[in-house]
Amino acid sequence: MEKSELPDPFEKARVDKGYGELNDQDDPVTMLLRLKDVRKTAHNYKTFQSAAQPGRIVVPSEVNIRDTRQIPFEVDPPVHGEYRAIVEPWFKRPLQAEYQEKLTAQIASLVDEILNKDTVEVVNQFALPLQSRALTLLLNTPFSESETWISWGTHVFRSEGEALDADKANILYDYIDQEIDRAIENPGEDMYSVLLSSDFQGRKLSKDEVKGVMVLTFAGGRDTVINAVTNSIAYLAEHPESLERLRKEPEIAAKAVEEFIRYFSPLTQMGRVVTEDTAVCDHAIKADTRVSLCWASANRDASVFENPNEIVLDRKINPHVGFGFSHHNCLGATHARQILKILLNTLATKVGSIEIQDYKENIESLDEFERKVGYDRINVKFNKLT
């Protein structure tokens, strides 16, 4: 097996029966594995709700470590749409030229820093700082804040190698509370201030609602972006021909990003709580249990994707669900796409080759499935383009 390969552990179950079963903290989950089922279920918010107890739609469940409702993520239509309309323009800012120039400068400077070092541990020395620095643009906060976020490590809800960790989560919550208080006292042009001054149903957003949006922004875009960046580096290390192609045809970078998101599926799955007895692919599902939309499995569905286990850099038709689907599709997708696109183009212009030295894979254990999502650590050497 190639070092950068992410095998598909779901294929047999997806083809044979269409679902898998996972017992998560005594709140079982029926994992939906086929693309069409995942899409239909994501769209049907009435039977498969997000507005359940906060933390319950996440797999593994976060009900024991948080009470804060993440917004708009854990709200359903029609109210969901009202929240989404408030935050959407802010999350589309990465389409602006000025935002992209700043992001390009950040990524170029980081790549310059690591070029020709003997060894770079990509997760902690490259992906984490890249993600944290880029987040200062999304939040429109001072660059120096990224130092604090980098110091938290790669996970915001868990310690290294540990299960869910309430103390770790509290660091994030306390930080966000402080930032909201700061923005109330001293409003500026940062995301906290903009949310605090936003109108919702004839009033301003409350502190709890602002916190709900901020927690989502921090949590949703951390492991996911870090995994996507790290996996991209590992892939390009083993596929110098792809790095070469991006150099010669920079215009394919946008398609390559979509293909990486499909293949890496940085978020394996997202849950829903079932509101009435129902069935998916002839399998009965009881009210008040959970299903999950397994994006990672759906993205390898051979009934939709030709050669699903191959990275086809310029895949032309690519109806993947790596950013989710329907009402709750990823709010941070515009930011994430820009990060990856700029990263690919920067690597292509500055890096000649990448050598993998050693690594430890990050494997998610999902009862009957074991899924590689990326790396706990991976040491590489970046060689400058000459």
Partner 1 sequence: MAKITFITSDNESITLEGSSGSVMALAVDNGIKGIDGDCGGVCSCATCHVHVRPEDMEKTGTASEIEADMLELDDNADEFSRLCCQLEIGDHLDGVVLRVAK
Nearest distance from residue 77's CB to partner 1, in Å?
10
Site for partner 1 in 297-326 (CB under 8 A): 304, 315-323, 325-326
Stretch that binds partner 1, among 163-171, 172-180, 329-337, 367-375 (CB under 8 A): 329-337
Could you tell me how many residues of this chain bind partner 1 (CB under 8 A)? Answer: 25
Per CB under 8 A, does 334 bind partner 1? yes
Question: Is 276 buried (19+), middle (13-18) or exposed (0-12) by CB count in 10 A?
Answer: exposed
Whole-angstrom Cα distance, residue 230 to residue 226?
Answer: 6
Distances (CA, A) of 270 to 47, 48, 49, 284, 362: 15, 11, 11, 19, 19
In the list 62, 74, 258, 301, the residue contacting partner 1 (rule: CB under 8 A) is: 258
In the list 29, 257, 267, 378, the residue contacting partner 1 (rule: CB under 8 A) is: 257
CB atoms within 10 A of CB 135: 22
In the list 96, 178, 206, 329, the residue contacting partner 1 (rule: CB under 8 A) is: 329
Q: Which is nearer to partner 1, 8 or 258 (CB)?
A: 258
Of 229, 260, 162, residue with least CA distance to 378: 229
Q: Which is nearer to partner 1, 329 or 383 (CB)?
A: 329
In the list 333, 352, 376, 377, the residue contacting partner 1 (rule: CB under 8 A) is: 333
In the list 3, 24, 25, 36, the residue contacting partner 1 (rule: CB under 8 A) is: 36
Nearest distance from residue 321's CB to partner 1, in Å?
8
Per CB under 8 A, does 80 bind partner 1? no
Q: Which is nearer to partner 1, 137 or 257 (CB)?
A: 257
Per CB under 8 A, does 377 bind partner 1? no
Per CB under 8 A, does 39 bind partner 1? yes
Q: Which is nearer to partner 1, 58 or 330 (CB)?
A: 330
In the list 255, 283, 350, 377, the residue contacting partner 1 (rule: CB under 8 A) is: 255
Per CB under 8 A, does 51 bind partner 1? no
Q: Which is nearer to partner 1, 300 or 315 (CB)?
A: 315
Nearest distance from residue 43's CB to partner 1, in Å?
4
Tell me phi and psi for residue 237, to 5 degrees.
Answer: -65, -40
Whole-angstrom Cα distance, residue 131 to residue 364?
Answer: 21
Q: Which is nearer to partner 1, 115 or 333 (CB)?
A: 333
Nearest distance from residue 34's CB to partner 1, in Å?
12
Nearest distance from residue 224's CB to partner 1, in Å?
17
Nearest distance from residue 327's CB to partner 1, in Å?
10
How many Å separate Cα 168 from the centre of its chain?
Answer: 19
Cis peptide before 54 (omega within 30 of 0): no
Nearest distance from residue 320's CB to partner 1, in Å?
5
Torsion angle of C-alpha atoms 279, 324, 236, 227, degrees rounded to 10 = -90
Per CB under 8 A, does 171 bind partner 1? no
Per CB under 8 A, does 40 bind partner 1? yes
Q: For binding to partner 1 (CB under 8 A), which residues are involved?
A: 36, 39-40, 43, 254-255, 257-258, 262, 304, 315-323, 325-326, 329, 333-334, 337
